[in-house]
Structure 1
């Protein structure tokens, strides 16, 4: 097992200083994510969320401030955990920590819980867009399509490595050519923007009953201002729905279409009219983002742990079983036959576009 970034006594000491009334034992939770350790604060409705490393190369203070802003803003929708306190980085707590609401719930069951995910995302996307000066520290993609392409272009540099088969590389380069052309058509075009969650694979949600199924997104460090349709795509593409063992399912085309329709109904006619034309182009863009990330991870997770914890995917920070799972998933998604099947949504008949009409 990897050594935790901060020992129990250091965590208790930092928590006592920030929240002296929270005196319960710290109960470690299963290591199920690459970026954080989690501790339930016994006898309370709170959770200690301890970053392992910065996935974006931020300093510890920048990383913590960004995540605190994510929780504070998303929780205003009623579908994200509340933020209680920030524990600043220090010698015994190198990356700091957040105290956030502990959500009692179960993993989503697909496709049954897709309507709850659609409602949750519609609620987040409906939050008022703050004035430009109030958006930091969150990233602000004024041109969401160009912003997504910039990220893809950076990740696509890893397609030339030995971890990517030649046939996969050829297919993804075709997708990259399409993405560049599509981005060019969007210059100067008004694009729907909102607070978005970014990392919306179903394993990042929990379902609680109040009294019916209600989805809460519990992994929030990547929220930003961008395109709502990318969130919707990320929740339903194959590389997301089969990522987490607890939520794994392969969705049928009609189940994906039903999810989109439920989102548009929850969003209301005005927002639906803006978002609907972007659903399928941004789905294609999102899948390219996901697959190029797989190529990046297969190289970068071998990075050595750095003193400032800026090696964002270092495997040494996570449980070996989790790393083995991610290694298997990324290899699977980059298999040429899998890539070919995923592209079938827009290249083969019947296309998803035809079903959504």
Structure 2
């Protein structure tokens, strides 16, 4: 398809005014303080996945509300001393999947933790974590779940899980807690932006970098005006019948918008964007990138959509890991 968003020169300058609630920081400070009242209770149970050179573990830790959240941990077997670690967050509808999907990063000598997503995991990857907080009318997947109140919104629970996941990884005896990197694409990119902004506010050893590929949930109102693809189409469909809810829903979304998290995140970051992306439109990615407060770089794929660079971007990840960990 042809480019449908702003020309590249305008995208590079695109930095819209942030729509942010006045109590944004208080809301998240209170949310995380509430979550930390529950014991983290991180458990790492080794499982035999058949990989002779890797240690593979089934992980459970306490997320939002003390709810049990699952994950995988993979790390090289024959290594002495504590390892750097990558915490990965998954795209929309996915879960932690199978261990065989995550062998690349530990093959590079880095521990890899993959967080399962509460209530998701029936889409492109399987998952095993329930969401006890489900409630209220919503359409389709997760984007409108609890959307009429920030306190009830689905992503309040999910973003809190993401911060607790960093704590769980740092508690592992084989991990160096001072060398943890965050990573995610699409919905995972939204989660990564939130964790990059929120983790340093509550965790003794903040993560040291973040990879944010084609982030979802950034500059949301514009996204709904540009595309009618899932997941943003869930919002459009929701508003067709709940017309009175539009402004209240967008007010809720302002507590979760990646642009507002980006403005608070100072970790060195690698972003990517596909200029043909009709799921997370380029201008919404640039809005988050240009608002990002830390050291940053952006890899642009002019002829790619939501897949952005695919395996080429995987190579960029590895180069970024090496550069950050070599500092």
TM superposition score normalised by structure 2 = 0.28
**Between structures 1 and 2, the one with greater strand share:** 2
Larger RCO (alpha carbons 8 Å, 6+ apart): 1
TM-score, reference length from structure 1: 0.26
- The structure that has the greater radius of gyration is 1
Which one has the bigger helix percentage?
A: 1
